[in-house]
């Protein structure tokens, strides 16, 4: 069989493999099949170049074979560069700017939803979106769930074949303080957190708070704990630009029959106000006097605004009934 006929057969085989691979790669959005299709395509182009080079050489143009060889070399390099770039994007979890912009625009058109963070990646022909949104602090759990569903549907419409995970957070300053407070208490050695303040300084959120640590803790260790708290708050609230901590020694717990009587009275006040006994009730002695720490148990469906109002009511009643207590700090938990 003549070389020209063999080359023609190879061209037909490469063309059929190219079309079949492209069809399957598009159907399943497979990067591996797409790479295989480009491999077959480069084979097809290279074989065609070889045929043209042979024809030119037969027609009395010996340089045609060298030109064909250079063309095939350039083709291999171009195909390799393209495959490397495409698959590096897949391995690095990169996503196209068009897909991310489409998801942001879709979320931005929803009413009552504030987009706080959007992270996307692409793998196996699918987009994966991690979305953090904020809703009104007085929104009930059902409303927050509906907002998350709306975000998922909007992103899936804007970016087909996407997998969306939505985290919902309350969207006001009080909620930010609660998140900072919880993040700080999650750090080992931190016993008490108070005076948490969130301020907006020229568009950048700043958090300041007071930490109570064991009084016998060395200063170096206390500084390490403060840095851990700052990192924990930044992780819990990515939009925070800076965190300032003020360290204080933890006071000894107050004891005595008088405080035992106060504990019973305060427990009755909490039960009258909320219908439940306090989950935790502790007293600490400070330079300013006795501080009462009260933890309330509320229904999980209670909104942040309702929880704040109920805690304020308990605090006011305790202050009025026991003016000898210097400070009352009320914490709510579901």
Cα atoms found within 13 Å of the Cα of residue 308, Cβ hemisphere only: 11
- Better-scored residue on pLDDT, 72 or 165: 165
Residue predicted with more confidence, 50 or 162:
162
- CB under 8 A, 24+ apart: contacts of 44-49: 44/11, 44/14, 44/15, 44/18, 45/72, 45/75, 46/71, 46/72, 46/75, 46/76, 47/7, 47/10, 47/11, 47/14, 48/11, 49/75
Confidence of residue 255 (pLDDT cuts 50, 70, 90): very low
What is the arithmetic mean of pLDDT over 156-183? Answer: 81
pLDDT for residue 214: 76
Q: How many CB atoms lie within 10 A of CB 252?
A: 10
Question: What is the average per-residue pLDDT within 6-18?
Answer: 72
CA-nearest of 124, 131, 125 to 100 is 131
> φ, ψ for residue 61 (rounded to 5)?
-115, 80
The most confident of the ranges 2-6, 51-55, 182-186 is 182-186
Residue 32 neighbours by CB under 8 Å, 6+ apart: none
């Amino acid at each position: 069989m003549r070389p020209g006929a063999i080359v023609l057969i190879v061209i037909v085989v490469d063309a059929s493999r190219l079309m079949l691979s492209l069809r399957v790669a598009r159907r399943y959005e497979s990067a591996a099949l797409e790479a295989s299709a480009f491999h077959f395509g480069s084979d097809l182009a290279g074989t065609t170049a070889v045929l043209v080079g042979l024809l030119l050489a037969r027609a009395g143009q010996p340089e045609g074979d060298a030109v064909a060889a250079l063309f095939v070399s350039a083709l291999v390099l171009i195909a390799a560069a393209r495959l490397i770039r495409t698959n590096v994007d897949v391995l690095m979890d990169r996503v196209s700017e068009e897909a991310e912009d489409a998801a942001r625009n879709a979320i931005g058109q929803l009413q009552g939803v504030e987009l706080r963070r959007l992270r996307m990646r692409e793998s196996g022909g699918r987009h994966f979106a991690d979305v953090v949104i904020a809703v009104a602090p007085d929104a009930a759990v059902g409303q927050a769930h509906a907002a998350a569903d709306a975000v998922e549907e909007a992103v899936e419409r804007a970016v087909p074949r996407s997998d969306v995970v939505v985290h919902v957070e309350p969207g006001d300053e009080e909620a930010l303080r609660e998140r900072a407070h919880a993040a700080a208490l999650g750090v080992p050695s931190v016993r008490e957190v108070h005076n948490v303040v969130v301020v907006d300084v020229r568009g950048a959120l700043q958090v300041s708070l007071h930490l109570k640590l064991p009084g016998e803790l060395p200063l170096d260790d206390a500084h390490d704990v403060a840095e851990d708290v700052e990192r924990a708050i930044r992780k819990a609230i990515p939009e925070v630009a800076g965190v300032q901590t003020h360290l204080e020694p933890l006071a000894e717990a107050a004891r005595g029959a008088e405080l035992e009587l106060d504990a019973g009275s305060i427990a009755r006040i909490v039960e009258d106000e909320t219908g439940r006994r306090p989950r935790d009730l502790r007293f600490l002695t400070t330079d300013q006097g006795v501080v009462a720490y009260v933890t309330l148990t509320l229904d999980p469906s209670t909104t942040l605004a309702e929880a704040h109002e109920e805690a304020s009511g308990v605090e006011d009643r305790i202050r009025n009934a026991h003016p000898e207590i210097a400070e009352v700090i009320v914490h709510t938990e579901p």
